Amino acid sequence: MSDFSHKPVLTGDKVILRPFREGDAETMAAILDDPEVLRLTGSAGQPPFTLDRLREWYGTRGARTDRLDLGLVDRASGALVGELVLNEWDEPNRSCGFRVLIGPEGRDWGLGTEAIRLLLAYAFERLGLHRVHLGVYAFNPRAVRVYERVGFVCEGVERQALLHEGEWIDSIRMAILAPEWARHRGHSGIHTP
């Protein structure tokens, strides 16, 4: 693996992961303004991104060689409903971070689970990564269940990492390794309710 310069289109039964396009900033602005997205990403109470800033941000994702940002499209509606990102690339150790956010139109349809499996398959089978890690706030058990279902393993807790509405929230650190992915390919056998 040399870098993240190739921006693939990954297609599943329910989703398409694709590079960001001109005009996506407007849709992402609405998604990033969703109260649930703001809460679950720890962004509530922070100044909102301006549309100009989002146009600049999403307009430059295709040129980045140190990260992979892909839009999450619901195949049934054709709508952009979120994003998945591989970032914090540690090239010598073949490791990177992962994050996902899904707006209201994409929730509760299984789109996130399929999208995460698609991106992890690409990360391990095409890019040759060894480790993909993430952080998720403890008040997001739905995300923790999805991450466990696709094979992420809890590695620890960053205690009281976020102050949210006067309450301290832990951040759960999770990761998945290439040998684990090779064994179950995103179907870990963990079926949490």
- The catalytic site residues sit at 147
**What is d(CA 90, CA 141) in angstroms, rounded to the nearest whole number?**
28
- DSSP letter, residue 125: I
Residue 63 tokens, joined: 């040129």
**What is d(CA 42, CA 81) in angstroms, rounded to the nearest whole number?**
19
**What is d(CA 3, CA 71) in angstroms, rounded to the nearest whole number?**
19
